[in-house]
Amino acid sequence: MKFFNTLGRSLEEFHSIEPGVVKMYTCGPTLWNSPHIGNYRTFVFEDFLRRYLRYRGYKVVQIMNLTDVDDRIIKTCREENLDYRELTEKYAKEFFDDLEFLNVAPADRYPRATDHIPEMVAIIEGLILKGNAYRGDDDSIYYKIALFPDYGKLSGLVLSELKPGARVRVDDYGKDAAQDFALWKAWDAADGKIFWETTLGRGRPGWHIECSAMSMKYLGEHFDIHTGGVDNIFPHHENEIAQSEAFTGKKFVNYWLHAEWLLVDNQKMAKRLGNFITVKNIRDQGIGGAALRLLFLSGHYRMQQNFTEESLQQASHSLDRLNEFVSRLRSLSSENSLRQENTREIEPLVKQTRDSFVAALDNDLDTPRALSAVYEFVTKSNKIMDSGIHGERGANLLLEFMLKDFNEVFAVIQVKQQTENELPPVARDLLRKREEARRAKNWTEADLLREELLKIGIRVQDTPQGQKWRLEKT
Ligand SMILES: [Zn+2]
């Protein structure tokens, strides 16, 4: 399995530090507004990466932080006269709703910056002791980049033109403004009520130190994967490396993976251009999260992707085709037909598709290539089914690939997740009776009960793993 490592800019074979376990940190949202769909492209990519690592047998520990104090949050609170907790709570709720809509599996933890002030202070004090940080004349604490010879190794920045002593207090700036950056910002009137009294004085943390503190607290000083959008490479991730490595004296992260921009009609999204699209905008159009998710995954994460109305329609259409295919397989795999089995053709098809699917994703998560293998599989399987010579076992093999391989990672197929307990008692009773009839090999009774269940909207199928059921679409 290979990933393109931004650190070193090359495709590298992946090895986890601890065998079988991957520790992964993901920069989460800054809770000051509704993120645009480009941000969610990154979150879906990270979810995909984690699902794929799991599919390949790793246990994954994923931490995603929530930035609930930074320059933009403070500015918004000041302008709208809001308490920062009120503002960040609102956007945190919206964020989790959007993740659910996009079927992003929850991270193991979502630590908040303001719950980790002591951890940040400890790192900053350590950096001061080592001489890597100093107090500026505005009383804020700055990181001295000239003392960290590796500064620039992630972003490819060359430091020759650095102005000695130049400092930047804002969190976000471009490479041309590379200079000593703020670890701790001394309170000023513009911060209002947002400050912490610490051994460093009254103030608040800079954005970059937040992620160093939270990642190291939950994943250790040296861990496997750190992800984000390409806009995080500089200064955010460059600064995280500088802070963490100067503090611990160890390598911080082995693999850095970054997702590219999502453009809208070939332009970067911006409020002033009127092309700023949120997940809510998509939802309000009546489009499902799975279609948007499939759209994101139809492009390679390291390539810029252009979002248009047509591309969304296209993704919706492809999704319908996948869902129809799975639904056809589901009904065929449960029909007690006397059709001739055709595993001779189906087995190699499934194997070949699975091999291409894994080969594509092992190669730096080449989702477009994996998807084209799946679409080809759908076409070929439909042909086999049209010819009527698939058999129940054959249909089950095809279905297994769609649900256990494809959907484990792409997670776009409708899977009703109701548990038996959520069904009405009469339905539970019928299911239990049918299971008994099936075990007793009383097929006439089992078929009658299947009909009964279908009348109340429950379709039952027999699989090698026993009786399975799902709700019929109404
Ligand atoms: Zn971060």
Ligand 1 center to 142 CA (angstroms):
18
What's the farthest any 2 CA atoms get from each other in the chain?
A: 87
Ligand 1 center to 128 CA (angstroms):
22
Q: How many angstroms separate the CA atoms of 133 and 141, rounded?
A: 7
Check residue 183 and report its DSSP letter. E
Residue 76 backbone zone (phi > 0: left; psi -120 to 50: alpha; other: beta): alpha
DSSP codes joined into one string, 119-166:
HHHHHHHHHHHTTSEEE-TTS-EEE-GGG-TTTTTTTT---TTPPTT-
The answer to whether residue 466 sits within a structural domain is yes
The answer to whether residue 152 sits within a structural domain is yes
> What six digits make up the tokens of 27?
């920069």
Ligand 1 center to 59 CA (angstroms):
23
Ligand 1 center to 208 CA (angstroms):
6
Ligand 1 center to 347 CA (angstroms):
45
Single out the residue of 230, 255, 214, 120 nearest to residue 175, CA to CA: 230
DSSP codes joined into one string, 321-358:
HHHHHHHHHHHHHH----PPP-HHHHHHHHHHHHHHHH
Q: Are residues 361 and 427 in the same domain?
A: no
Q: Are residues 66 and 130 in the same domain?
A: yes
The answer to whether residue 299 sits within a structural domain is no
Ligand 1 center to 205 CA (angstroms):
13
Ligand 1 center to 459 CA (angstroms):
46
Ligand 1 center to 171 CA (angstroms):
11
**Confidence at residue 77, expressed as pLDDT on a 0 to 100 scale:** 94
Single out the residue of 192, 173, 181, 168 nearest to residue 69, CA to CA: 192
- pLDDT, tens digit (0-9, with 9 covering 90-100), for 391-446: 778 888 999 999 999 999 999 997 764 567 777 788 889 999 999 999 899 999 99
**Confidence at residue 456, expressed as pLDDT on a 0 to 100 scale:** 84
From residue 16, how far is each of 21, 106, 150 by CA, in Å?
7, 22, 23
Ligand 1 center to 72 CA (angstroms):
15
Q: Are residues 331 and 361 in the same domain?
A: yes
The answer to whether residue 279 sits within a structural domain is no
Q: How many CB atoms lie within 10 A of CB 462?
A: 19
The answer to whether residue 270 sits within a structural domain is no
What are φ and ψ of residue 388, in 5° steps?
75, 20
**Confidence at residue 180, expressed as pLDDT on a 0 to 100 scale:** 95
Ligand 1 center to 365 CA (angstroms):
22
Last residue of a domain, one of 240, 259, 278: 259
Q: Are residues 230 and 341 in the same domain?
A: no
Residues 360 and 370 sit within 8 Å (Cβ to Cβ):
yes
Q: Are residues 439 and 367 in the same domain?
A: no
Q: Are residues 353 and 443 in the same domain?
A: no
**Confidence at residue 474, expressed as pLDDT on a 0 to 100 scale:** 41
- pLDDT, tens digit (0-9, with 9 covering 90-100), for 441-453: 999 999 999 999 9
The answer to whether residue 137 sits within a structural domain is yes
Tally the domains of the chain: 3
Q: How many angstroms separate the CA atoms of 342 and 35, rounded?
A: 49
Ligand 1 center to 332 CA (angstroms):
48
Single out the residue of 281, 260, 261 nearest to residue 269, CA to CA: 261
Residues 34 and 271 sit within 8 Å (Cβ to Cβ):
no
What are φ and ψ of residue 360, in 5° steps?
-65, -45
Residues 94 and 34 sit within 8 Å (Cβ to Cβ):
yes
Ligand 1 center to 107 CA (angstroms):
15
Block means of pLDDT (10 residues each) for the chain, length 474 residues? 98 98 97 95 98 98 96 93 94 96 96 98 98 96 94 88 78 87 96 95 97 98 98 96 98 98 92 88 90 98 96 94 90 64 85 98 98 98 83 87 97 75 83 92 93 86 77 57
3-state SS assignment for residue 387: coil
Ligand 1 center to 243 CA (angstroms):
13
Q: Are residues 132 and 163 in the same domain?
A: yes
Q: Are residues 406 and 452 in the same domain?
A: no
β 21-26/59-64 pair status: parallel
β 21-26/133-135 pair status: unpaired
Q: Are residues 201 and 338 in the same domain?
A: no
Last residue of a domain, one of 238, 259, 280: 259
Number of H helices, E strands in the chain: 15, 17
Q: Are residues 56 and 197 in the same domain?
A: yes
Q: Residue 139: which domain range?
A: 2-259
Single out the residue of 355, 332, 327 nearest to residue 413, CA to CA: 327
Last residue of a domain, one of 259, 287, 320: 259
Q: Which helix (H) or strand (E) holds 198?
A: strand 196-198
DSSP codes joined into one string, 415-468:
-----GGGS-HHHHHHHHHHHHHHHTT-HHHHHHHHHHHHHTTEEEEEETTEEE
Residues 328 and 385 sit within 8 Å (Cβ to Cβ):
yes
Radius of gyration for the chain, computed over Cα atoms and rounded to the nearest angstrom? 26
Ligand 1 center to 289 CA (angstroms):
25
Q: Are residues 27 and 96 in the same domain?
A: yes
Residues 31 and 66 sit within 8 Å (Cβ to Cβ):
yes
CATH number at residue 376: 1.20.120
Q: Report the 3 state secondary structure along 24-80.
A: EEECCCECCCCCEHHHHHHHHHHHHHHHHHHHCCCEEEEEECEECCCHHHHHHHHHH
CATH number at residue 19: 3.40.50.620
Ligand 1 center to 409 CA (angstroms):
25
Q: Are residues 26 and 134 in the same domain?
A: yes
**Confidence at residue 150, expressed as pLDDT on a 0 to 100 scale:** 94
> What six digits make up the tokens of 159?
């430091």
Ligand 1 center to 28 CA (angstroms):
7
Instruction: Please give the mean pLDDT across all residues of the chain.
Output: 92
The answer to whether residue 464 sits within a structural domain is yes
**Confidence at residue 306, expressed as pLDDT on a 0 to 100 scale:** 97
The answer to whether residue 448 sits within a structural domain is yes
